[in-house]
Amino acid sequence: MVRRIFPVGVLAVVASAIVLAPSAAAYTFGPTVQPVGPEQTVFDWSTQRCNENFAADSPARAWRDSSNQVHLTISSNASYQMIGSSLNTVAVNCGIALQSHFNADPSTYDDQEWLHSPYTLDGTKVFALVHDEYHGWEHPGMCSGSGGPTITPKVLTIPAAGFNPGCWYNAITLASSTDKGYTFTQTAPPSHLVASSPYTYAQSDGAYGYFTPSNIIRRSDGYFYSMVQAEPHLAQQAGACVIRSKNPVNPTSWRAWDGTGYNVQFINPYTNPQPPEQHVCTPVAFPEIEKMVQSLTFNSYFGKYLLVGQTSDWDPVRQEFVYGVYYSTSDDLINWSHRQLLMEAELTWSYQCGDDNPIAYPVLLNPGGATPDTTTAGRNFENTSRQTYLYFTRFNYSNCQQNFDLDLIRIPIRFL
């Protein structure tokens, strides 16, 4: 994730239009995927930003409110949106949907937050899972030593003075809105905590915790589901964990898969002395999906749940790892098919100077119709079909260095 703090702009709406590029030829698609139209720029940081911190630094999420306006997130540690009558007509809105508090106390889980997983039943009340980061290196006295292991989470950062990935502590929190999703608030920290490592913050222990919740889907059993990325730390194994709740607006109601059922209760390690090994999630299908969690939908073409994420896989023909966007399918969110290449591309951790600009945060979104009852996408865009759009962020490097220039791109695709 991009890390810079700048003053936010005044409330405003900036007009925008999706810009077509000549083609999607810059990317190589997998054998079961075909681009069916030109690459499109949804958000161009260089011309459409409201301020320097207005960046597409998280997976794009969308919902339709009760006034039939579509909200598309543009989230950094101050979360913004694009709003319009459809995904094809959204325009930049400079109002802040969720602001970070930069709290120096790790026990509050209230440092830097990204709006990641919004969901609404009625288009007026919206709740969201929030990606919360504690940056010990940015708080005096909270980061010392050598920095621990090299950063392992597949999230992003622009190194700054004092940057130390060994002092990175991550969690999932909850935010809610009563104004259709234009603004979100949180209960007093840490009462907004959804999922934390059962271990307290430790300097120079390496980046650990739970990261990057997927979008939320509601299944026929009445539960709301999401997937989160877990990083290895003591009893916690690396991978993608499935969490669910029947009352998702209650932060303490979420439970994680433990290998046989959804029995793992997350705890606040600062207030709960229970054995931590009893409160770690069990990653699902690691050989098949690794840490893919960016996009979770039900796809009508496959008749299965469809997971999309950024990773790599070994190509026996080329005799090398191929980096890019992959997809996998499942009937139950637990057992997944071996990932297949959707689109080859440089990723931020595979990039070397001279390569094409890398990408991150791939998701699938169907544009849908004018109202929730006339679109197959659903109010929360949790359904996809054979033909859909691949959205992702392109990092426009300068002199081989990451900066704030992050553009949101989409390409229409068809599964074969």
pLDDT of 342-399, one tens digit each? 999 999 999 999 999 999 999 999 986 544 443 578 999 999 999 999 999 999 998 9
Helix (H) / strand (E) containing 356 = none
Look at residue 199 and tell me whether its pLDDT is greater than 70: yes
Confidence of residue 271 (pLDDT cuts 50, 70, 90): very high
Confidence of residue 401 (pLDDT cuts 50, 70, 90): confident
Average pLDDT for 303-323: 97
Q: What is the pLDDT of residue 375?
A: 52
Q: What is the pLDDT of residue 140?
A: 92
Average pLDDT for 281-307: 97
Select from 135, 176, 128, 136 the least CA-distant residue to 155. Answer: 135
Q: What is the pLDDT of residue 374?
A: 39
DSSP string, 140-195: TTS--SS--SPP-SS------TT--GGGEEEEEEEEEESSTTSS-B-PSTTTTEEE
Q: Is 376 exposed, middle or buried (0-12, 13-18, 19+ CB in 10 A)?
A: exposed
Q: What is the spatial distance between Cα 373 and Cα 362, in angstroms, rounded to a whole number? A: 26
Q: What is the pLDDT of residue 204?
A: 75
Q: What is the pLDDT of residue 4?
A: 34
Instruction: Please give the angle made by the CA atoms of 153, 159 and 160, to the nearest 5 degrees.
Output: 135
Look at residue 217 and tell me whether its pLDDT is greater than 70: yes
On whether the CB atoms of residues 168 and 135 are closer than 8 A, the answer is yes
HSE-CB for 230 with a 13 A CA cutoff:
29
Helix (H) / strand (E) containing 281 = none
The pTM of the full predicted model, rounded to 2 decimals, is: 0.91
Query: What's the whole-number average pLDDT of the chain?
Result: 89
Q: What is the pLDDT of residue 411?
A: 96
* Residue 163: C-alpha distances to residues 86, 120, 159, 177, 354 (Å): 40, 37, 6, 33, 25
Q: What is the pLDDT of residue 152?
A: 41
Q: What is the pLDDT of residue 144?
A: 79
Q: Is 204 exposed, middle or buried (0-12, 13-18, 19+ CB in 10 A)?
A: middle
Select from 172, 137, 130 the least CA-distant residue to 151. Answer: 137
For residue 180, what are its two tokens? 């259709």
| Domain with residues 13-415, CATH architecture | 5 Propeller (2.115)
pLDDT in tens, 74-131: 999 999 999 999 999 999 999 999 999 999 999 999 999 999 999 999 999 999 999 9
Average pLDDT for 35-51: 95
Q: What is the pLDDT of residue 163?
A: 75
Q: Is 206 helix (H, G, I), strand (E, B) or coil?
A: coil
Return the percentage of the chain with pLDDT > 90, whole number. Answer: 81
Q: What is the pLDDT of residue 147?
A: 42
Q: What is the pLDDT of residue 273?
A: 86
Q: What is the spatial distance between Cα 105 and Cα 320, in angstroms, rounded to a whole number? A: 44
pLDDT in tens, 59-76: 999 999 999 999 999 999
Look at residue 303 and tell me whether its pLDDT is greater than 80: yes
Q: What is the pLDDT of residue 114?
A: 97
On whether the CB atoms of residues 100 and 77 are closer than 8 A, the answer is yes
Q: Is 344 helix (H, G, I), strand (E, B) or coil?
A: strand
Average pLDDT for 230-239: 96
Select from 110, 140, 100 the least CA-distant residue to 8. Answer: 100
CA 111 to chain centroid, in Å, comes to 18
Bigger pLDDT: 171 vs 26 = 171
Look at residue 58 and tell me whether its pLDDT is greater than 70: yes
Residues 6+ apart with CB under 8 A from 69: 83, 84, 85, 180
Q: What is the pLDDT of residue 3?
A: 38
Confidence of residue 17 (pLDDT cuts 50, 70, 90): low
**Amino acid identity, position 41:** T
Look at residue 327 and tell me whether its pLDDT is greater than 70: yes
